[in-house]
Structures are given as C-alpha cells and as structure tokens.
Amino acid sequence: MNFLRTNCRTCLVASTLSVVALMGCSPARQAAPTSQPAEVTVVTVHRTSVPVTVELPGRTSPYLVAQVRARVDGIVQKRAFQEGADVSANQPLYRIDAAPYRAALDGAEAALQKAQANLVTTTAQLDRYKVLVGGNAVSKQAYDNAIAVQRQAAADVATAKAAAELARINLGYTSIVSPIAGRSGISLVTQGAYVQASAATLMTTVQQIDPIYVDLQESSAAGLQLRRDVTNGQITLNGPKQIKVTLKLEDGTKYPLTGDLEFNGSTVDAATGSVMVRARFPNPRHVLLPGMFVRAQIDEGTNDKALLVPVAAVSHDPQGKAMVLVVTPAKKITQRTIEAQSIAGDSWVVVAGLSEGEQVVVSGGQKVQPGTSVIAVQAPASTAATASSPPASIPANGHAAADTVAAVQAK
C-alpha cells in the first residue's frame, strides 16, 4: 500500500512539472514587447532678416539752458514772471531801478550835443582858414592848427556817441528779459534784492525742453562688437536719416513719439568704459523733464543672417552657455552649444552653433538623451512662425541682452 501511494505522488509531481514546462515554452512568454522611439516636437530653423536695436540707459537733458544773470548793479523793483511757467523769448522777467542809468544816458546825450556843436564851430573855422591860407592872409601854421582842432572835435563827437550808446545799453539792461523761449525755474532773487554786474548775480534759469535731449551711455565693448559684425557683413547699418530711437519711461510705459540720433561720442570715458550717445525727441506736452531716467532703443541696422529659436528650446549649462537639442538626419538626438547674443519676444537670435534647415527640439526633450532615436513632429504653425518671422525689435550686444541672459540663468 505504501508503495502505491508513493508511486501516485511521484506521477502527480511529474505531471505538474510538465504543465509548468509547457507554459514556460508558450509563444506569449518568448515574444518580449518592443519599445517605441520617443516623440518630440521640433521647429526647423531658417535664416531670416531681423532689425537690430540696442537698448541703452540714459537721462534727459534740456535742449537749451539760459542762466539769467544781472548785467548792471541795482535794486530789483519787480519780478514779472511766474516761477515754473513757460516764457517766450525777449519776455521781461525782472526790472531793476533804472533812475541812475536814465540820468547817465541824459548826461551822455548832453555831452554828445556839446561835442557836435564844437565840431560845427571848428569845421567852419577850418573852411575859412582854407580860403585865407591861399591868399597868405593866415600862416600855414594857423591853418594846420585849425585842421587839428577840427579833427579833435570830430573825435570828441565819436567818443560822446559811444558813451551815449553805452549809457543806453546799460539802461536797457535794467529790464531783464528771457534770452530763449522755455520753462522758467525758481527765482533766486526777490523784490528789493541788490544785484551786481561784477558778481554776475544769478537770478533764474530758463530751459527749453521741446525738443529735449536724451543722453545715453553705450559700453565700448558693445560698440566694438557692432563694428566687427558690420565688417563681417553680418549686420547692415541703417542710413543716417533712417536711425530712429524709441523711449521707455521710468514707470515702464512707452513714450509715444520717436526721436532722431544726434551723434555718437568718439571718446570712451575711462571711469565707466562707455561712450555717450545723444538723441533728440519732440516734447510738445512736456512729458519729459530734464533729469529723468529712461531706456532708449536705437535701430542700428539689420541682421540678414539671423536664426530665430524659441526660448523654450534653449537651456543653459552651469557655466551659462546656451544649449539646444537637435534632431539629426538619422533621427537621433544630439546636444549642441549655440551662441545666442540677444532675445526678443519668444525667440533667441542665434548667431553661431546652428545651420540652415536643422530641426531643434522645443518640447519633449526631457524624455530623451543624446544619442537616442526619436520621432520628430513639426511644431504648430504659431510656434514655427515665431521662430521664423522677425520680431518687432532685436536688442544688439548691449545691456539688454546681458540683463536677459542673467535673468534666464537665474531661473
């Protein structure tokens, strides 16, 4: 009986092992599932023409500044303007006591009349001596003396005329007028104050602020890079009459009127390493006041060889170098270091590291590694258009580009 039980158990175990072996050899276990390549979204980059601008910080300064100073001594009798108001050219601002200067003018004119009367007398005497000397009625010496006296009288008349004119000018200086049209400052003297011509007493200041200057600071390195790009043919400069300047105010709003570039400085400030750039803006509503901080964008030229890459496609390594993922013709991922000098809107302007027609990954890059195979899907038309159409303004190598790179790295 024991032998039969043992034999039955052995047969049962053998049958179970056979079933397990047959299940292990089934086709379902032999065919391992195959993994599909990851799908990434790409844009195809193409060379395009984009405007090149540089954004610079600066401050406004008046177009004209006139310091109104005393030109004669005297007591201020009246102030004829309102502080901070607009004044026109030759508008009276102050009146100084004119009585002493009016008396001086009267005395000078009387002296002139006396000199003129003396000239008439000496001229008549000379005319008589001219006739008498011909008949030897007077000596030659007397005739020569008459000539000298007449000439001295003529000189006295000229001196008296000059003195009278000077007295008239000084009398005119008692009415102090604005030399230019502009906005007046605060009055530095009051009625009853004593002003002096020798001390050139400052009485007030008038500033013309329409138009108004904007003085900007451009780094010498940015200017050097621009000249190098122009020499290499990468950037085509605008003509002198085509350079326009736009302003962004202190509160971030855009100034509605455009300005013209006046000049580029030719000397680098040794302390700051920058060059002054001056622009002129119309200011009919006096929105811009002298001393305001602004940021200006200057249209410098056109980059005809720019490649635009969406911001989402660009990353930065710990050293701050810009990098993108590129799909090769073999449908594999490769990592590429690029030179992205500036940013505008949703795109970086790439000047090195990419070639015409290459496919750059804009999404799905976190799922792949360099060397892996992928399925490239073109981005929607809106994304592709962002990467191929020129933005409104592209900052050149300047403060704006540096600030943007720093902000991206900080993120």
Q: How far apart are the first and last CA of the chain?
A: 83
Answer yes or no: is 205 within a domain: no
| CATH code, domain carrying 86 | 2.40.50.100
Q: Judge if 243 and 297 occupy the same domain.
A: yes
Question: pLDDT value at position 268?
Answer: 81
267 φ, ψ (degrees, to nearest 5):
-130, 135
Residue 188 lies in a domain: yes
The residue among 349, 340, 377 whose CA lies nearest residue 362 is 377
Residue 107's CATH number: 1.10.287.470
Whole-number pLDDT of residue 387: 55
Q: Looking at the structure, do residues 297 and 332 belong to the same domain, yes or no?
A: no
| Per-residue model confidence (pLDDT) at position 222 | 67
* Alpha-carbon torsion (400, 403, 405, 407), positive or negative: negative
Q: Are residues 279 and 316 in the same domain?
A: no
- 206 within a domain of the structure (yes/no): no
Helices then strands, each counted (H, E), the chain: 7, 21
Total domains in the fold of the chain: 4
Cβ atoms of 267 and 283 within 8 Å: the answer is no
Across 143-201, the runs of DSSP E, i.e. the strands, are 175-177, 182-184, 194-195
CATH of the domain at 351: 2.40.420.20
In terms of domains, do 311 and 379 share one?
A: yes
Residues 6+ apart with CB under 8 A from 172: none
Q: Cα 116 from chain centroid?
A: 62
Domain ranges, residue 107: 98-173
Would strands 47-69 and 394-395 be described as parallel, antiparallel, or unpaired? parallel
Same domain? For 161 and 262 the reply is no
pLDDT tens, residue by residue, 132-188 = 988 888 899 999 999 999 999 999 999 999 999 999 999 999 999 999 999 999 999
Note the pLDDT tens digit of each residue in 309-349: 888 888 888 888 888 888 888 888 888 888 777 766 677 78
Average pLDDT along the chain: 80
In the predicted model, residues of the chain with pLDDT beneath 70 are: 1-35, 221-242, 343-345, 381-411
Q: Are residues 403 and 326 in the same domain?
A: yes
Task: Give dist(CA 85, CA 357) in Å, integer.
Answer: 62
Token pair belonging to 112: 């002139």
Same domain, 277 and 318: no
Q: What is the DSSP string of 336-357?
A: EEEEEEEEETTEEEEEES--TT
In a domain, 11, yes or no: no
Residues 224 and 247 in one domain: yes
Instruction: Quote the pTM value.
Output: 0.65
pLDDT for position 385: 52
DSSP 8-state symbol, 248: E
Mark whether 309 and 295 lie in a shared domain: no
